[in-house]
Amino acid sequence: MVESLFYNAGHCICAAFSSGLSAGIIRCFLGRRPYNTAGLTLGGDLEPCDLPHAIAHASLAKYKDGSKPIWLPFLHSFVPIANAAYFSLGVFVRICGRKKRMGWDMRTQTFALICYALASPQSASAQARPAIGTEVFVSTDSDNTDIVRVALNFDLRNRTDKDYFGISLEEAGFRSSDGSSDSRQRVFLRMAGTIGNWTLQTRTGTDGHTVIGSLTAHDDARLRKEVFVERDIIETARGLDDGIYTTFAGAAVDLPVNESNAFTVLAGYQTFTGRNNRIHFRGNFVHSVKANWGLTAQLRGRYFHSSVPFEGGYYSPKWYAEVMPVMQVRRFVRQWEVVGATGLGIQRDSETDWRQSRFLHVRFTSPSKGDWSVRGVFSFQNSPSDSAVNQNNYSFGQGMVSILRRF
């Protein structure tokens, strides 16, 4: 939902779903590769393309403290934040040139209204305060590709982890499998808030070359809907040198059966610089084994099909499929949320036979209110991500820690 946002390279950024060479999107940074079980391209917390919280609000039995269990996002095995597995979310935008009748004005006004709604005070019961924080993301894989991102966040207004408005300055360092290295500076506008019955969160900006980042929006209905869009660079040596970007957009819906069982389905469309396009389908079944323990049993499945296989040097077989049973536990310890999940399944693509797939995920989150906010996510997975070069025996691990102080 796509594996975890940047600068405007043109005169303006217009909020509109569009296509063409100048179309772009935004994506979250927590997601890269398959962090994204809720992440987006390869698997939950597994890929940058996965939905980070696809079933977080499903109607399951409540804990003794009244809270609901939160399911593990089936799009990423990690967070956030972002590759075909850790998909960040975002909305299509277009770097515009000349106005064309009313269209340019309408899109500009729509984007401005969204920013205003998210930046404006939304509740008199919570005090809006400035905040400053840092976020560190580290990833390494069996191809010897290493990624380190360090961000400084400055919020003009921050009430909770779901209600803030500010900017993020990020330094991203890459070391590719061929031994080459690269670094990029990125700037993002970060916002979260509610508009009507919808909760929105975005980290949108630029790396100095194009618009990147993510945006996600969801409601809290029983049939919870979520839409997302994400854009980022392919983190391989060729991807960095040739400027190969990927954009992923899609939607997911929760389908509760009763208090103990629910399904989540997701459909998405992913484009790459060049001719390759990819269709994604994912599904997740969740059963509450013991509600007061926060223990759930899940069955996750995903499939994608590429139009131009192996274009651009990134992992892109004609098709890929994975089925993985997962056990997850979610507990609250002194109001801290702690989540752990592990899975063992099978995977294959158009070029290989069925083989084992493994997944491990740990996440902790401090209470959303108060002077301090702390989050951490750590994951391991052996499902190939978009950034994989050698598909055989591929695996990767990643971690993210975020600390924020409200004043």
363 in a structural domain: yes
2 in a structural domain: no
In the structure, what pLDDT confidence band is assigned to residue 72 with cuts at 50, 70 and 90?
A: very low
Distance separating alpha carbons of residues 309 and 305, to the nearest angstrom: 9
* Nearest alpha carbon to residue 65 among 347, 367, 390, 379: 367
Q: What is the extent of the structural domain holding 266?
A: 13-406
4 in a structural domain: no
Q: Which pTM was predicted? A: 0.71
Which percentage of the chain shows pLDDT scores above 70? Answer: 69
178 in a structural domain: yes
Number of residues written out for the chain: 407
Contact between 198 and 217 under an 8 Å Cβ cutoff? The reply is yes
248 in a structural domain: yes
> In sequence order, what DSSP letters do the residues of 267-325 get, joined into one string?
EEEEEESSS-EEEEEEEEEEEEEEGGGTEEEEEEEEEEEESSTTGGGSS--SEEEEEEE
Question: Radius of gyration over alpha carbons of the chain, in Å?
Answer: 19
Q: Is 240 exposed, middle or buried (0-12, 13-18, 19+ CB in 10 A)?
A: middle
Q: How many separate domains does the chain show?
A: 1
Token pair in block for residue 284: 């997740």
81 in a structural domain: yes
Distance separating alpha carbons of residues 183 and 197, to the nearest angstrom: 40
In the structure, what pLDDT confidence band is assigned to residue 114 with cuts at 50, 70 and 90?
A: low
CATH assignment of the domain containing 344: 2.40.160.40
pLDDT digits (tens, 9 = 90+) for 333-354: 989 999 999 999 999 999 999 9
7 in a structural domain: no
* pLDDT exceeds 50 at position 68: no
pLDDT digits (tens, 9 = 90+) for 386-404: 888 776 788 999 999 999 9
